[in-house]
Amino acid sequence: MKSLCSTAAACLALVGGAAEAACGDDPGACTLPGGSYHVVLPEGASSASPAVVFLHGFGSSGEGTLRNTGMVDALLARGYAVIAPDGQPRAQGQGRSWDFHPERPSTRDEGGFIRAVADDAAARFGLDRGDMLMSGFSIGGSMASYLACAAPDSFRAYAPVAGNFWRPHPEACEGPVSLFHTHGWRDGTVPLEGRILGGVVQDDDFNGAVQGDVFVAMQIWRETDGCRLQPDLHETRGEYQIRGWTSCDSGARLDFALHPGGHSVPPGWADLALDWYEALP
């Protein structure tokens, strides 16, 4: 991988073994008025380089995202930069998270911040702003889902992992979106059917909240994209069982991948998601 720094940059900082591109004279996170983010760049990065913007789960950080070297290295090997925004700090030393649910109080315009991160990274490191895949894990996946629903044009496509809408589910989304949802059959943290959080996570943003149903979410996406009820594609790739809607009226592509594991970014996900992304019209 390669660092591509601005003219005043210090060049590289090591984060969990990954070479992180520096911002200005600061070898750590890139800062914006609304927060911060981290970046690693592939060898030969240029203005034509695509990127994956990946949102961390509850209690983690952008730096924590980069420590998932299996995922990050696989993305870099395919020529993608990895942009890892930082969520907002939570009370009582609980790390960082995202104000994702539109019906719960928010202390930051998360969609605006994430778009600003993508804009800044594209300008600062010479990446292709029009060729970015938005993804995220767990609550980061929920944040990516709500951004796709509210402002689908923010990114070319979306690929949430183990994160979904929460109840009450959105009644409708703003417009067509190409989306690849991945979930574990044995996920007990964010089960496919969802679960009630009451005193489990000691944070006012989550007590009494109820996770959504992934199958209801897929129905919302089918209606948003003008897809028929039954999928056009049934595919097995390794341990993944994939259903795909390829003939939606909107021209968008919708896929749902199940794997037998639990609450994780499963092995092979990076290549699976990029194969899907690169096959989009």
Q: What is the pLDDT of residues 249-270, one digit of tens each?
A: 999 999 999 999 999 999 999 9
Q: How confident is the model at residue 234 (pLDDT cuts 50, 70, 90)?
A: very high
Per-residue model confidence (pLDDT) at position 24: 61
Give a yes or no: residue 30 inside a domain.
Answer: yes
Place of tokens 């702003």: 129
Q: Is the pLDDT of residue 97 over 80?
A: yes
Per-residue model confidence (pLDDT) at position 63: 95
Give a yes or no: residue 6 inside a domain.
Answer: no
Q: Is the pLDDT of residue 8 over 70?
A: no
Look up the CATH number of the domain holding residue 106. 3.40.50.1820
Residue 69: enclosing H or E segment and its boundaries?
helix 69-77
Give a yes or no: residue 1 inside a domain.
Answer: no
Give a yes or no: residue 120 inside a domain.
Answer: yes
Torsion of CA 159, 162, 165, 167, to 10 degrees: 170
Average model confidence (pLDDT) for the chain?
Answer: 89
Residue 36: enclosing H or E segment and its boundaries?
strand 35-40
Q: Is the pLDDT of residue 18 over 90?
A: no
With contact defined as beta carbons under 8 Å apart, do 34 and 112 qualify? yes
Q: Is residue 168 reached through a cis peptide bond, with omega within 30 degrees of 0 on the bond before it?
A: yes
Per-residue model confidence (pLDDT) at position 22: 77
Q: How confident is the model over 21-68, as pLDDT tens digits?
A: 878 656 679 999 999 999 999 998 888 899 999 999 999 999 999 999
Give a yes or no: residue 97 inside a domain.
Answer: yes
Evaluate the CA torsion angle 56, 77, 271, 49 in order and state its sign.
positive
Q: Residue 209 forms beta bridges with which residues?
A: 197
Q: How confident is the model at residue 207 (pLDDT cuts 50, 70, 90)?
A: low
Give a yes or no: residue 4 inside a domain.
Answer: no
Mean pLDDT within 165-176: 96
pTM to 2 decimal places = 0.90
Task: Determine the structural domain holding residue 259 and report its residue range.
Answer: 12-278
Cα–Cα distance measured from residue 259 to residue 24, given in angstroms and rounded to the nearest whole number? 41
Mean pLDDT within 203-231: 88
Mean pLDDT within 96-119: 93
Tokens of 17: 């073994």
| One-letter identity of residue 179 | L
Per-residue model confidence (pLDDT) at position 91: 77
Give a yes or no: residue 5 inside a domain.
Answer: no
Evaluate the CA torsion angle 164, 267, 53, 246 in order and state its sign.
negative
Give a yes or no: residue 114 inside a domain.
Answer: yes
Buried b (16+ CB within 10 A) or exposed e, 79-103: bbbbbbbbbbebeeeeebbbbbbee
C-alpha distance across the termini of the chain, in Å? 28
Per-residue model confidence (pLDDT) at position 203: 44
Mean pLDDT within 224-235: 97
* Count of domains forming the chain: 1
